[in-house]
Amino acid sequence: MIGPPERAAGEQIALLRSVGYAAFGRHERDLDVLDVVFDSLVDAPDSGDVRRLRFAGYGITLDVDVHGQTDLTVELRVSPSGPVMVESRGADDGPTAARLVSFLLRWPGSTQRPVRTAWIML
Task: Specify if 108 maps to a domain.
Answer: yes
Residue 7 lies in a domain: no
Residue 96, domain member (yes or no) = yes
What is the chain's pLDDT, residue by residue, as a tens digit (122 residues)? Answer: 444 455 566 676 666 666 655 555 555 667 889 999 999 988 888 878 899 999 999 999 999 999 987 778 899 999 998 899 999 887 665 555 567 889 999 999 888 899 999 888 88
The alpha-carbon radius of gyration of the chain (Å, integer) is 16
Do the domain assignments include residue 11? no
Give the DSSP letter string of the chain: ----HHHHHHHHHHHHHHHHHHHHHT--TTSEEEEEEEEHHHH-TTS-S-EEEEEEETTEEEEEEEE-SSS-EEEEEEES-S--EEEEEE----TTS--EEEEEEE-TTSSPPPEEEPPEE-
Domain contains 5:
no
Parent domain of 76? 29-121
Predicted TM-score (pTM) of this structure? 0.73
Is residue 35 assigned to a domain? Answer: yes
pLDDT at 7: 54
* pLDDT given at position 110: 87
The domain tally of the chain equals 1
Would 44 be classed as within a structural domain? yes
Q: Is residue 86 part of a domain?
A: yes
